Structures are given as C-alpha cells and as structure tokens.
Amino acid sequence: MASTSDFRNGYTFKYNNDLVSIIEFQHVKPGKGPAFVRTKLRSLTTGKVLENTFNSGVKVEDVRIERRKYQYLYPEDEGFHFMNTETFEQVFIQKHLVDAPDFLTEGLNVEIVFHAEEELALQVELPNSIEAEVVYTEPGIKGDTATNTMKPATISTGAEIKVPLFVNIGDRIKVDPKTKTYVERVKS
C-alpha cells in the first residue's frame, strides 16, 4: 500500500478496479480545511483520462509495472508486432494500447509497459521525438516568415501535422508523437 505522498508523474496504482497512471498531480494545502491532491489519471485498460481529488494521506494499492525496450517490426489488421531488443522474443500488441500508431516506423525503438505480476502489456510509449521526411506539403510563400503561421504536411509515416511555412517536401523534421507537433528541422 502507498499513500498520496508517494504520487509522482507516471506512478501506477489500482483505482476503482482499474489500473491507472498519473499524468499530472498537484498537492493543495488550502488556508482552511485539510490538504488534498488533485490528479489527472489515465486508465491503462481503456486509455480514458479522468480527473480525481484524493484527500491527503489516502492509501492506494500500488501495482508493480516494468518498462521493457522493444523494436517495432510490422503492422497487422488487429495490432502491431514488436521484438524485445534483449531476448529477441516477439510480442503482438493490440492497436488501442499504442499511444500514436500513425507515427510508428519500422525499426523504431519503443518502451512497452507490462503489469509485472500478470505479464500483461498495458501501454506502448513512443520516444519523445521521431525523425520523418515530409512527403507532401503546400509550398510556402517567399517572404512570409514574420508570423508563426503553420501549414498542413504529411510525413513519411502517413501522419498529418502542422509545420512552419519554410518546411518543404523532402525536408527531414523532428516530430513529437505525444503532442503530434513539429519540433525542428533536422540538418543533413
């Protein structure tokens, strides 16, 4: 058992017969009344995000999870195949367990979160940024760089994101798959 003082981002515990992970939390000590903790939780079974407030000191049942490094191999109708980078064991993961499936590229290294006691895959986490090539975007207008205007672009993974006007077809860019946003242009 753990208490609210053990809360941190990414902490996983059992709540309402479901496994949840803390996205963000905030300890609040009002001037009047007892302290409490505001949390934003993600259900690891359904992927839904919910907000909840816990009284300070409340006990929760913690769950042992393991993060293992895997490499993405190929897609299938119902999900994706990954290979453990240490044991070379292959595992099949359902589509709904992948954070941003439209950013998966062959050979991409990811972390898969497992429920340690049940050996059950809970979530596939992509890296903080991936590199991809812009395969289609409208040309930018010369001299129109004074504003932070963005235009749609399709990258080599098939995902569509917004990029600055100076990005052209064939450019390699860095993308944050969690927020689905442009980070920077990669120098060749």
pLDDT digits (tens, 9 = 90+) for 131-175: 999 999 988 766 666 667 888 999 998 899 999 888 889 999 999
Say yes or no: do domains 65-125 and 130-185 share a fold: yes
Burial of 187 (0-12, 13-18, 19+ CB in 10 A): exposed
Q: Tell me what pLDDT residue 43 has.
A: 86
- Comparing 25 with 145, the larger pLDDT belongs to 25
Task: Give me the pLDDT at residue 5, please.
Answer: 87
Domain ranges across the chain: 2-62, 65-125, 130-185
pLDDT at 142: 66
Task: Name the pLDDT band for 10 (thresholds 50, 70, 90).
Answer: confident
CATH classification number, 2-62, choose in 3.40.50.620, 3.50.50.60, 2.30.30.30, 1.10.287.3610: 2.30.30.30
DSSP track, 69-119: EEEEEEE-SSEEEEEETTT--EEEEEGGGBS-GGG--TT-EEEEEEETTTT
**Burial class of residue 29 in the structure, from the number of CB atoms within 10 Å of its CB (0-12 exposed, 13-18 middle, 19+ buried):** exposed
Residue 38 reports pLDDT greater than 90: yes
Q: Is the pLDDT of residue 77 over 70?
A: yes
CATH of domain 65-125: 2.40.50.140
Mean pLDDT over the full length of the chain:
88
Spell out the long-range contacts of 73-81 with Cβ–Cβ below 8 A and sequence spacing 24 or more. Answer: 73/106, 74/106, 75/104, 80/104, 80/124
**Share of the chain residues as helix, strand and coil, in percent rounded to the nearest 5:** 5, 55, 40
Interatomic CA distance for residues 51 and 10, integer angstroms: 15
pTM of the model: 0.76
Report CA torsion sign: 163, 165, 168, 174. negative
Backbone angles phi, psi at 102, to 5 degrees: -75, 0
**Does 69 score more than 90 pLDDT?**
yes
Please check the confidence at residue 81 and state whether its pLDDT lies above 70.
yes
Q: At 100, is the pLDDT very low, low, confident or very high (cuts 50, 70, 90)?
A: confident
User: Which CATH architecture group holds 130-185?
Assistant: Beta Barrel (2.40)
Point out which residues pair with 103 in neighbouring strands. none
Q: What would the mean pLDDT of 49-78 be, rounded to a whole number?
A: 91
Q: What is the average pLDDT across 77-94?
A: 92
Mean pLDDT of 96-117: 88
Please give the angle made by the CA atoms of 67, 10 and 28, to the nearest 5 degrees: 165
